[in-house]
Amino acid sequence: MTKLSKKQREKLLEAGRLLREAEKPVRVLRTVGWPPEVAAKFFTDGAKELPRHDYVPVDDSPVQEKLAAARKLIDGDSPAHLWLTRAAQSLETGARMLSAVGTKAFHDHSASLYKTPAAPMLDGESRPLDLALQLDETLEAFRPTDGQPLGTPEPSEVMGADELAARMRPVIERFFGEEAPEVTVVDSLSANALAGPRAIRLRRGAAFTPHDLQQLIQHEAFIHVATSLNGKAQEDLPLLAGGHPGTTRTQEGLAVFSEMITGAMDPARLRRLADRVIAIQMSIEGADFLELYQFFRERGNGEGQAFESARRVVRGGLVTGGAPFTKDVVYLEGLLQVHNFLRATVQFGRLDCLHLLFAGKLDVQDLPALIMLAENGLCRFPRFLPPWVVDSGFLISYLAYSSFLNRVNLTKVRQHYHDMLAHIPKLDIPVRESDPFVHVTVASTNGMDLD
């Protein structure tokens, strides 16, 4: 055990408090958001003119002052000191990014925080762009012949934000009890849905499907809201209540993994994540908003969804190309990061790390610090855990099996089955009526009836 002296504890806790204060003004999505009238004018003009939005840069000097004060207190090299040092660097870059909103420098800071599609991942070889292109190629093979996007729901299944909110509320209230956040519908939002400790907000005018219901509960509620509330309960470590940019990769990766492990992920959603990465690379290479909009239209998106997807890429940067917001790279890279980390925790028998992963808004790399701080009585184990962690039998079984896959030469295996199937005809599958059991998920079998 790494025993902290009273003086070390006091300095670390004060540094963490200052970092939390520095984090509060760094509101990335709020700063780069577009009001609804931007989309309205775009379509009024026939979807032929570049949209325009004038950003209000954030004065980052108050943030930098608090960071300077915090850094004076971070005078060691323990895991806890390294955690706070990383957080300070992330907040410094994030604040500088928001002070440069609407310029090329915004993109440069964004790439530093979230990386780019072509940046190597942990293995030093594979890239988020490689994964996105492979997913895109694989899922294209399953596109229906009528040209509709994979997983397109029947018109009768599509619901508005108000109906979705009504279906979400009872699930949220049962899971969180007295601490359940409100589920509200708002006119303007930087995404179709955003979650915080007090509210899950849905964008009025967005269309949702039953799959969206499952995904939002797993992604927004059981991950983003849960980690926010768990972080809020960390009285000694308030930084865990704030999601600074350095935690985004793990938090979004964990949320996407939650969709995967519960069966809430569908091909349309996965391809949408891949297309965002491809579009970011297109923008880096010079594609403007209109080219991105056309790219998403060609992917089968309706006009409104294509606009929103293109907006996600250029928000905060330049609509003329060359300087996108790279945050959406983290969904696929974060999924790989979390998946590989969870495989390691099972292989090494470290369920303590699995549980502490939900202690607040954190990055996987922060866990050594949290273990150290928990040993010193400063970090609490989380109260709210997603059902797939509480009842972790399937998770452990799946990860124990999947950890062996790295030892298998998948290239040879794939070639064997390619040769086996290459010269036999492909049959049409008979059309079947919907099976009422098709929408059962891991979450619903764990006592959470999501329908």
Per-residue pLDDT tens listing for the chain (451 residues): 678 899 999 999 999 999 999 999 999 999 999 998 999 999 999 999 999 999 999 999 999 999 999 999 999 999 999 999 999 999 999 999 999 999 999 999 999 999 999 999 988 889 999 999 999 999 887 765 555 555 555 555 789 999 999 999 999 999 999 999 999 999 877 678 888 889 999 989 888 988 899 999 999 999 999 999 999 999 999 999 988 999 999 999 999 999 999 999 989 899 999 999 999 999 999 999 999 999 999 998 899 989 999 999 999 999 999 999 999 999 999 999 999 999 999 999 999 999 999 999 999 999 999 999 999 999 999 999 999 999 999 999 999 998 888 788 888 998 999 899 999 998 887 866 655 444 444 333 333 333 3
Would you state the structure tokens that stand for residue 447, as one six-digit string? 């006592």
Tell me which residue of 274, 184, 270, 187 sits closest to 220, measured CA to CA: 184
CA distance 281 to 277: 6
CA distance 316 to 36: 16
Whether residue 390 contacts residue 383, with contact meaning beta carbons closer than 8 Å, is answered with no
This prediction's pTM: 0.90
Positive or negative: CA dihedral 333, 150, 303, 194 = negative
Domain-located, residue 386: yes
pLDDT at residue 156, rounded to an integer: 58
Would you state the structure tokens that stand for residue 249, as one six-digit string? 């990769």
Contacts of 127 (CB under 8 A, 6+ apart): 117, 118, 119, 120, 121
pLDDT at residue 246, rounded to an integer: 95
pLDDT at residue 433, rounded to an integer: 63
Domain-located, residue 127: yes
Domain-located, residue 72: no
Would you state the structure tokens that stand for residue 426, as one six-digit string? 């492909």
DSSP lists the bridge partners of residue 186 as: 203
Domain-located, residue 433: no
Backbone angles phi, psi at 264, to 5 degrees: -85, -15
pLDDT at residue 47, rounded to an integer: 96
Helix/strand/coil percent split, the chain, to 5: 60, 5, 35
Domain-located, residue 42: no
Domain-located, residue 129: yes
The number of angstroms, rounded, from the C-alpha of 161 to the middle of its chain's C-alpha atoms is 21
Domain that holds residue 392: 117-421
Domain-located, residue 132: yes
Backbone angles phi, psi at 159, to 5 degrees: -130, 155
pLDDT at residue 442, rounded to an integer: 38
Domain-located, residue 170: yes
| Domain count within the chain | 1
Positive or negative: CA dihedral 405, 410, 414, 420 = negative
**Angle of helix 367-375 versus helix 79-99 axis, rounded to 10:** 130
What are the CA-CA distances from residue 18 to residues 14, 21, 22, 279, 380 (Å)?
Answer: 6, 5, 6, 37, 20
Q: Sort 187 into a burial class: Cβ within 10 Å, 0-12 / 13-18 / 19+.
A: exposed
